[in-house]
Amino acid sequence: MKTEVKRCGLVYDEGMQRHIGPDGHVEQPKRIREIWRQLVEAGLVDACSRLPSRKASKKELLYVHTARHVNKVLSPSALCARQYNGGCQKPAGPDQTNVMALDEDTFMCNETPDAARLAAGCVLSLCDEVMRPNSVLHCGMAVVRPPGHHASADKAAGFCLFNNVAIGARYLQKVHGLKKILIIDWDVHHGDGTADIFSGDSDVLLFSVHRYDANRTFYPGTGMLQDAGKGDVKGFTVNVPLGPGYGDLDVCHTIRHVLFPLADKFKPDFILVSAGFDAVHDDYLGGCHMTPQGFGWATRAIYSLAQQLCHGRLALVLEGGYNCTNIGRCVVESVGALVLDAAQEAPLANSLPPLPEL
């Protein structure tokens, strides 16, 4: 009997659920628990290769973050470090003695250091397997929290402590010897931390499609079209700001007509996706109208790009998304797209999949 070859990987660890915040906070353990439940129910966990989770080492975190930032997050004393990000405050309410707010959005508890290291380490585990010589696995998803793309080199922000995708990019360069990394960020919020980390780096192309309100009141208020990098490195940060309420066709058009030509010119060695699903309809923070099928289309399109340019090397990394039911559906569509397309014996045709039905 022929053994089924599983070319798509999944990595997840229940330990990340122990990162717990104030009562009612939208970035809650249920997010990844519900995603994993739906993946199991859809048969996708069995259809994928389940990869081992691990914690990122301090050395690996320092590829991106300052020693001060890493020490503050990893040290238990960070929970009462009055100087960190303007100071810590205990949220009011019952059963909150284990929680400290670093700012109005971002929190820690006693279990946060391990969860944050797991989130980054799961990304590295996926990268290692994709890059392993003779591996049949060349794409996959890391279902992780806390998210990462608002964290800069020296600051936690926007629910994010360590920048998981940025650490993955630097790890691929330093450990696996790759040079050019394409980061695609489709989270509804601009990944200002990732942009800041790579703004002066011509070996990392950051492409972000996100919501931007003219009055700059939508968090974080960054990511304007003219923000293209710093100093002599211009054009390696590409922002596509869309108005409130954007949907599938807006993102499809952007991928077709902006991302594909840029990626073809850049020719990356690996593609990382900051895969936030808070642009899906009925998300509690996003205010946009993408569908799970739209995210499935985007995944298929980007995977076809990875096949054409970098041997199919593609890793999706969970970022935001706060309607737990809907983000589960989005992840099912995205992972399902990877499973089906990666199973093809021959590379996909050099064409985009049909547009999603609206």
In the chain the domains, ranked by start, together with CATH numbers, are 8-342 (3.40.800.20)
Whether 11 has a pLDDT exceeding 80, the answer reads yes
Percentage, residues of the chain above pLDDT 70:
89
pLDDT score at 259? 98
Whether the predicted pLDDT of 356 surpasses 80:
no
Residue 49 has pLDDT above 50, yes or no: yes
Mean pLDDT of the chain, nearest integer: 91
Read off the pTM: 0.93
For residue 92, what pLDDT is reported?
46
Q: How confident is the model at residue 51 (pLDDT cuts 50, 70, 90)?
A: very high
Reply yes or no on whether the pLDDT at 95 is more than 80.
Answer: no
Q: What is the pLDDT of residue 231?
A: 81
Give the contacts of 59 (CB within 8 A, at least 6 positions apart): none
Distance of CA 252 to the CA centre of its chain: 19
Residues 323-334 have pLDDT tens digits of 999 999 999 999
Cβ count within 10 A of residue 357: 9
pLDDT at 355 over 60: no
Options 19, 149, 150, 210, the catalytic residue: 150
Catalytic site residue 150?
Answer: yes
- CA atoms of 140 and 88, how far apart (whole Å): 36
Q: Model confidence over 97-108: pLDDT tens digits?
A: 478 888 889 999
Confidence band for 3, pLDDT divided at 50, 70 and 90: low
Q: Among the listed ranges 179-183, 203-207, 226-230, 261-265, which one has the minimum average pLDDT value? A: 226-230
Does residue 146 have a cis peptide bond before it, meaning omega lies within 30 degrees of 0? yes
Let me know: does 189 contact 278? Beta carbons within 8 Å: yes
Q: Residue 34 pLDDT more than 60?
A: yes
Q: What is the pLDDT of residues 114-160, one digit of tens each?
A: 999 999 999 999 999 999 999 999 999 999 999 999 999 999 999 99
Residue 233 pLDDT class (50, 70, 90 cuts): confident
What integer pLDDT is reported at residue 85 of this predicted model? 44
The answer on pLDDT for 6 being more than 80 is yes
Q: How high is the pLDDT of residue 84? A: 41
Beta bridge mates, 11: 142
Rounded mean pLDDT, 31-39: 98
Residue 19 vs residue 6, higher pLDDT: 19
One-letter amino acid of 143:
V
Is residue 237 over pLDDT 50?
A: yes
For residue range 276-321, list pLDDT tens digits in order.
999 999 999 999 999 999 999 999 999 999 999 999 999 999 999 9
In the chain, the DSSP E strands lie at: 8-11, 49-50, 99-101, 107-109, 139-142, 181-185, 204-211, 237-242, 270-275, 314-318
Q: What is the pLDDT of residue 93?
A: 46
Determine contact, residues 241/218, Cβ cutoff 8 Å.
no
**Sequence-ordered list of residues with C-beta below 8 angstroms from that of 185, at least 6 positions apart, any chain:** 149, 165, 191, 194, 206, 207, 208, 209, 210, 273, 274, 276, 319
CB 157 within 8 A of CB 105: yes
> Residue 55's pLDDT is what?
98
For the ranges 16-20, 66-70, 87-91, 218-222, which has the lowest average pLDDT?
A: 87-91
Q: Tokens 């303007």 identify what position?
A: 86
Residue 271: helix, strand or coil by DSSP?
strand
